[in-house]
Amino acid sequence: MTDSIHAAERIAKLRQEIERHNHLYYIEAKPELSDYEFDKLLEQLIALERQFPDLVTPDSPSQRVGGAITKEFVSVTHREPMLSLSNTYSPGDVEEFYNRVKKLLALEGVDEHEMVAELKFDGVAISLLYRDGLLVRGATRGDGVQGDDITVNIRTIPTVPLKIEDVGEIEVRGEVFMRKEDFEQLNESRPEEERFANPRNATAGTLKLQDSAEVACRRMSFVAYYLKGIRDESTAHFSRLKLLEELGFSTGNHYQLCRELHDINEFIAEWSEKRWKLPYETDGVVLKLNAVTLWDKLGATAKSPRWAIAWKYPAQQARTVLNAVVFQVGRLGTITPVAELEPVLLAGSTVSRSTLHNFDEIGRLGVMIHDRVIIEKSGEVIPKVISVVLEERPSDTQPIVIPSNCPECGTPLARTEGEVSYYCANEEECPAQIRGRLLHFASRNAMDIKSLGKALVDQLVAIRLVKDVGDLYFLQEPQLEKLERMGRKSAQNLVRALDESRAKSYERLLYALGIRHVGRATARELSQAYPSLEALMQASEEQLATVPDIGPVVAHSICDYFAKPSVPHFLEKLNAAGLPLSASESTEQINRNFEGLTVLFTGGLDRYDRLTASELVMERGGRVVNSVSKKTGLVVAGHDPGSKLDKALKLGVRVVSEDEFEAML
Ligand code: IVH
């Protein structure tokens, strides 16, 4: 009983602390804890809730880690239709909208036409319902009338409050999106052929996932831009946005009240530059009449309200000259033609390269060297060539010739039937492929070896100090010190970073190997189905294809990988390097020092509260009891112990001090 009261207090404290840090991190962008420290807090909460399942509530931050699997999302009807906005690209239309609203209101005898200008976030619209201060439903827009109930997935978004002050039954609408950085990280973790084209697609794809634990890993964000249901219906839109902030929602903080048309135009002009500096994508500006009481008066067309409009930025395009084409060799040997462009300013940065994807794409564009080309950036991080200005084709153009040999190692290129890409089959020796594998191995989602950057990898491969990732672990400081731009300190750092990477998980290692089609999610599935590399190697294609989410193509690719003659030797090297070739080797090692032991605490401990001490024992295989008997294996006696100590001594039970207990841990 007392344990559960203690636990309830501790849980409440932890939750408050976690939500506070969440807010500091995501909304105020002023984190006070490292990711590691934050994760530790969350882990503590989860462990406690597991121990006291009755204390779990839907608003607990532990509910953000997901776990529920949904077969099919239930369809729900919106309380009022989720309309979209009428879009315009022309400044004339904005003026017309402003004048029209002003005139309509004047007809009603109203001289109130202030507008709120907001950013148009490029993501996916959702609706949230709060009842008694708790998030009770999160739904997609769907067809505007009915959407899908995706509450389980929405709960995982850190900037969606699970609990707010109780202000009655309210509906909050807003946009789920992925920050550019989180989008890039997600894409980095996926096999090349499964990457999302832009953050919006990634968000839409993620919200529909059936596995909420996977959703939680993908880091999405939420901004609120609409609030309905509050008691004071006369509250203007601007004040509603402020209220949303007070309730703990993020609004993005970049909205403004505009009295006159020129204020609107200034806002649009200002953000058409500043938008590039935002950590997320915006695709325009939304204007809404501030006086919500007048919204109904203006009404709506079938699709969009008459009290709002979206001004969309034109697609970002630029004209430049294609100077040359180089051919890059990827870590899997795929050849990618890359256009070298006359540097040009586009969407806030200078662009001098752009991928041409493959040779079919070159054919489709009909592009030649020295052509004038149009490049475009539309959501994608990397700009692409979208067309050739044929009317201005110069006389000195030259065709782009498909190379017959690998530009890195000279091996004749091959092309698989039915595939668009050419590849270099010299997997073992091609320096570009070796470099690519090393960089993939060191990347953030793989072994996360920060000090192993591109320049260093280039050198290590060029002087043949390293041929595969296993070699990295046998590098010595003196060898490294001699390299260009290295020195003693950097050499030490690299050796330390490599050493630390040995403690990474087996799941990460599986991903880091760089097996074709095996992204982070597949690596996770594989690590669960086959908890050691040895077991995985012995699995047949048919067996592999029975693992969730693994189809015949992935299964084939895994078998192909392990069938390579060089693999046994390579894996031996990884084993000798001390890398985690099985799940048991890699899980954070908590010892089993209390296995089978029944432990009783009496008196106060200086360095642990009772609950933590109990957790520590249980994690290590022990059991914690409240009364002494002959079966009690150990009594930990703190200061001012009670009568239980006497009883224990009488029964001859082993008694230890806090120091001894700590040593046992
Ligand atoms: S208000 C009835 N405000 O744009 C008006 N929408 O084209 C409801 N969007 O479906 C929408 N930023 O997904 C509003 N600041 C903002 C927005 C915004 C992005 C999206 C939203 C909506 C679409 C309409």
Structure token pair of residue 570: 């390579």
**Sequence ranges of the chain with CATH classification 1.10.287.610:** 2-64
Q: Is the pLDDT of residue 506 over 50?
A: yes
Using alpha carbons only, give the angle 437, 440, 442 rounded to the nearest 5 degrees.
Answer: 110
2 band by pLDDT with thresholds 50, 70 and 90: low
Answer whether 286 contacts ligand 1 (Cβ < 6 A). yes
* CA proximity to 108, closest of 267, 289, 236, 285: 289
- By alpha-carbon position, which residue is closest to atom 18 of ligand 1? 120
Atom of ligand 1 nearest to the CA of 300: 2
> What integer is the mean pLDDT of 551-571?
95
Distance 286 CA to ligand 1 centre (A): 7
- Cβ–ligand 1 distance for 85 under 6 Å, the answer yes
Tell whether the model's pLDDT for residue 423 goes beyond 60: yes
Q: What is the arithmetic mean of pLDDT over 426-452?
A: 94
How far from 540 is each of 221, 286, 518, CA to CA, in Å?
A: 41, 55, 16
Q: Residues 431-576: name the CATH superfamily.
A: 5' to 3' exonuclease, C-terminal subdomain (1.10.150.20)
**pTM given for the model:** 0.74
> b/e string for 442-459 if b means 16 or more Cβ within 10 A?
bbebbbbbeebeeebbeb
CB 222 less than 6 A from any atom of ligand 1: no
List helix spans (H) across 389-472.
Answer: 431-442, 454-462, 469-472
Q: How far apart are CA 436 and CA 512, in angstroms?
A: 11
Count of residues for the chain?
A: 665
For residue 225 and ligand 1, the question of a CB distance below 6 A is answered with yes
Once rounded to an integer, what is the mean pLDDT over residues 204-221?
92
Contact partners, residue 420, CB within 8 Å, separation at least 6: 358, 359, 360, 361
Nearest C-alpha neighbor of 656 from the set 591, 595, 665: 665
Q: Residue 185: CB within 6 Å of ligand 1?
A: no
pLDDT for the residue numbered 584: 77
Residue ranges, comma separated, of all CATH 1.10.150.20 domains in the chain are 431-576
Instruction: Identify the residue whose tokens are 């319902």.
Output: 129
Residues facing residue 351 across a β-bridge: 344
pLDDT on residue 379? 58
Instruction: Tell me the mean pLDDT in the region 229-243.
Output: 96
Task: Please list the residue range(s) of the chain that carry CATH number 3.40.50.10190.
Answer: 598-664
pLDDT in tens, 458-496: 999 999 999 999 999 999 999 999 999 898 999 999 999
List the one residue out of 123, 115, 152 whose CA is nearest residue 135.
152
* pLDDT for residue 243 is more than 90: yes
Contact 430, 329 (CB under 8 A): yes
Domain with CATH 2.40.50.140 in the chain: 317-414
Higher pLDDT, 586 or 631: 631
pLDDT at 380 over 70: no
Say if ligand 1 is within 6 A of residue 125 CB.
yes
**pLDDT over threshold 60, residue 92:** yes
DSSP reduced 3-state for 298: helix
120 CA distance to ligand 1 middle (Å): 7
How far apart, in whole angstroms, are the C-alpha atoms of residue 408 and residue 329? 7
Beta bridge partners of 636: 601, 656
pLDDT value at 377 more than 90: no
Instruction: List all residues 6 or more positions away from 218 whose beta carbon is below 8 Å from its beta carbon.
Output: 178, 182, 186, 202, 206
Q: Which fold has domain 598-664?
A: Rossmann fold (3.40.50)
Summarised one tens digit per residue, pLDDT across range 289-315 is 999 999 998 999 888 999 999 999 888
Q: Which amino acid residue places its CA nearest to atom 10 of ligand 1?
A: 84
- Pocket flag, ligand 1, residue 358 (CB < 6 Å): no
Write the DSSP assignment of 492-546 as a string of letters.
HHHHHHHHHHTTS-HHHHHHHTT-TT--HHHHHHHHHH-SBHHHHHH--HHHHTT
Six-digit token pair at 654? 């082993």
Please give the structure tokens belonging to residue 9.
């207090």
Residue 537 has pLDDT above 70, yes or no: yes
What are the angstrom distances between the C-alpha of 416 and each of 21, 281, 421, 537, 577? 51, 37, 8, 25, 36
- Asked if CATH classification 2.30.30.40 holds for the domain at 317-414, the reply, yes or no, is no
CB distance 310 to ligand 1 below 6 Å: yes
Question: Residue 99 C-alpha to ligand 1 middle, in angstroms?
Answer: 21
Ligand 1 pocket test: which of 79, 80, 84, 85 has the largest number of ligand atoms within 8 Å of its C-beta? 85
Cα torsion angle, 512, 513, 519, 521, sign? negative
> 177 CB less than 6 Å from ligand 1?
no
Atom 17 of ligand 1: nearest residue by CA position: 120
Of 383 and 614, more confident: 383
Res. 450: pLDDT tops 70: yes
Atom 6, ligand 1: residue with shortest CA distance: 120
Q: Residue type at 311?
A: W
What integer best gives the mean pLDDT of the chain?
A: 91
State the pLDDT at residue 98.
95
Q: Which atom of ligand 1 is nearest to the CA of 305?
A: 2
Q: Dump pLDDT digits (tens) for 352-369.
A: 999 898 999 999 999 999
Q: Which of 432, 587, 450 is nearest to 509 (CA)?
A: 587
Spatial contact of 76 and 137, defined as CB atoms under 8 Å apart: yes
Cα 243 to ligand 1 centroid, rounded to whole Å: 19
Nearest ligand 1 atom to the CA of 84 is: 24
Instruction: Give the distance (Å) from ligand 1 centre to CA of residue 475.
Output: 55
Among 1.10.287.610, 1.20.58.100, 3.30.420.10, 1.10.10.350, what is the CATH number of 2-64? 1.10.287.610
Residue 100, pLDDT above cutoff 50: yes
Q: What is the mean pLDDT of residues 251-278?
A: 94
Instruction: Give, for ligand 1, the residue of 171, 175, 312 to mutate: max count of ligand atoms closer than 8 Å to Cβ.
Output: 175
CB of 101 closer than 8 Å to CB of 113: yes
Lowest mean pLDDT among 19-23, 259-263, 344-348: 344-348
CB 46 within 8 A of CB 38: no
Tokens at 563, concatenated: 């069938």
Residues facing residue 85 across a β-bridge? none
Atom 22 of ligand 1: nearest residue by CA position: 84
**pLDDT of amino acid 409:** 97
Q: Class assignment of domain 77-97+109-305?
A: alpha beta
Residues of the chain with CATH 3.30.470.30: 77-97+109-305
Higher-pLDDT residue of 125 and 110 is 125
Contact 404, 426 (CB under 8 A): no
C-alpha to C-alpha distance for 273 and 263, rounded to whole angstroms: 16
Mutate which of 121, 238, 280 to test ligand 1's pocket (most atoms within 8 Å of Cβ)? Answer: 121
| Token pair listed for 443 | 């990347």
Percent of the chain at pLDDT > 70 equals 98
Are residues 151 and 65 in contact, defined by beta-carbon separation less than 8 angstroms? no
What is the 85 CA–ligand 1 centroid distance (Å)?
6
CA distances to 160, 295, 346 from 173, rounded to whole Å, are: 11, 16, 32
CB of 497 sitting under 6 A from ligand 1: no
Distance 427 CA to ligand 1 centre (A): 49
C-beta 517 within 6 A of ligand 1: no
Q: Cα 491–495–499 angle (5° rounding)?
A: 165
pLDDT at position 587, please? Answer: 47
Torsion of CA 455, 457, 459, 460, to 10 degrees: 160
Predicted local distance difference test score (pLDDT) of residue 576: 95
Active site residues: 120
Contact 284 CB / ligand 1 (< 6 Å)? no
